[in-house]
Chains A and B, each alone.
Chain A
Amino acid sequence: MSNEKTDWWVGLFILLGAIALSFLALRAGNLSSFSFAPTYALSAKFDNIGGLKVRAPVKSAGVVVGRVASISLDEKTFQAVVTVQIEKNYRFPKDSSAKILTSGLLGEQYIGLEAGGDDANLVAGGTLQFTQSAIVLESLISQFLYSSAEKQGTPQGTESAPAPKSPKLSQ
């Protein structure tokens, strides 16, 4: 096998490898959804971030506007501090709120931004004031058990309570 022929075959081999890797990265993976647009940072404090991970998406109205950059613990208030990178062409009012939501019933967690009504926008380094922590399944269950225990504990009280109220309302 002459040298030129070998080189040609090796070149083909490496090319095939590059094609396979790009296929995997772009068609199979989520590299194509990466944008290399410039971003600015915002931070938000949560009581509980649940299963939120770094590089989880930040969505507003379902559209991905940024990613979670870092997660840390504030040792004074013992709240989670989440820093997000938002694309520069998306601006949000100062009173926007951030919620930790789950995609699907048992899916990955992400941050949902709901725009507020303020005229002034958040700038780089700003903080989202209004946050809602992740829904932790255990707290939900214990709440449910507690409220159903309450209902069962005072059956007469609960039945009589609405009755006097309604006449008042009708009056």
Chain B
Amino acid sequence: MSQTNFLARLGKQARERLTGLGLFTRFFFMLLQRSSIVFKRPRLVSQQVHFIGNFSLLIIIVSGLFVGFVLGLQGYYTLNRYGSEEALGLLVALSLTRELGPVITALLFAGRAGTSLTAEIGLMKAGEQLAAMEVMAVDPIRRVFVPRFWGGVIAMPVLAAVFSMVGIIGGWVVGVLLIGIDTGAFWSQMQNGVDVYNDVLNGVIKSIIFGVAVTLIALYEGWQARPTPEGVARATTRTVVTGSLAVLGLDFLLTALMFSN
């Protein structure tokens, strides 16, 4: 008896997940379809770039610096064993541009910007602001969601590039200034080994895709949140968890696609 109940519940959960996935996809296409407001009222988008991007700059820069420091240290310890410490610049730059830059930025983004987006929209929902807009014949998707979506998609690659740049500088500070590796070797090995198309550009593409994924998840969770304090709290948690998992999963896929021969 309990076994059929268990199966029934499992089936119900699977069905709900699938319906949720379908709704999520429909939400994505709705956002794309109504994106013409980006051109009609670009001020809305630039305001969101400000809220999402500028307010995340501090955490991105500080994190990038520290990640660069650690890469410099750990990289040196490992490379020193094989007498290849002059390749530190190459190690730091490749790690950052290919992987750590886009991924860590996306994870931080999900935590900082993603949760604030979800909470903001959840609270707007709770305060009936979205319903008020609908009744005033203003499409809330167009007015509220689309600018935030494009704001996030624009902000993310910028943040990832800044993270990588600051990280490389951090690695240089530790490797050259503190440990004493030759600065010429640091930069020249890096320049010889880091390819603009394969490494930098792929990293940028990754960060754009992560931006789409995390912003979309954050907006979706806000849109679907129950308009109560508990509902908003749950939605923000889901944003961070789902967003982070999505970033890591996509990273694996993209790395396999981009960096295999």
Contacts and interface: CB of A to CB of B under 8 A. Distances in A.
A57 B168 CA distance: 26
Interface in A1-32: 1, 3, 6-7, 9-10, 12-14, 16-17, 19-21, 23-25, 27-32
B79 to A, nearest CB: 15
A20 B161 contact: yes
Nearest to A11: B46
A160 interface: no
A13 B158 contact: yes
B36 to A, nearest CB: 21
Interface in B13-65: 43, 46-47, 49-50, 53-54, 57
Interface string B158-179: 1101101100100000000000
A28 B155 contact: no
A28 B49 contact: no
B191 A6 contact: no
Nearest to A103: B192
B73 interface: no
B158 A24 contact: no
A28 B191 contact: yes
Given A17-B157, A20-B158, A28-B97, A10 B196 contact: no
B200 A24 contact: yes
Chain B interface mostly helix, strand, loop or mixed? Answer: helix
A154 interface: no
B191 A16 contact: no
Contacts of B235: none
Contacts of B49: 10, 13-14
A170 interface: no
B46 A6 contact: yes
B50 A25 contact: no
Given A14-B158, A28-B191, A3 B43 contact: yes
Interface residues of B, number: 30
A25 B158 contact: no
B196 A13 contact: no
A87 B18 CA distance: 57
Chain A interface: which size bin? 20 to 34
Given A30-B191, A31-B196, A32-B191, A9 B158 contact: no
B187 A27 contact: yes
B182 interface: no
B200 A29 contact: yes
A33 interface: yes
B117 interface: no
A33 B191 contact: yes
B55 to A, nearest CB: 10
B53 A13 contact: yes
Interface in B182-228: 187, 190-192, 194-196, 199-200, 203-204
B47 A6 contact: yes
A32 B195 CA distance: 11
A17 B195 CA distance: 19
A30 B54 contact: no
A28 B161 CA distance: 12
A55 B158 CA distance: 28
Contacts of B191: 27-30, 32-33
A28 B158 contact: no
Nearest to B47: A6
Contact of A10 (B54, B161, B200): B54
B104 interface: no
Interface in B143-164: 155, 157-159, 161-162, 164
Given A10-B49, A24-B165, 7 more contacts: A16-B162, A17-B157, A17-B158, A17-B161, A25-B200, A30-B195, A34-B196
Give the 6 A-B CB pairs with smallest separation, nearest first. Answer: A17-B158, A20-B161, A20-B165, A29-B196, A29-B194, A31-B196
16 contacts: A6-B46, A6-B50, A9-B50, A12-B54, A13-B49, A13-B54, A17-B162, A20-B164, A21-B204, A24-B165, A24-B168, A27-B187, A28-B168, A28-B190, A29-B195, A32-B191
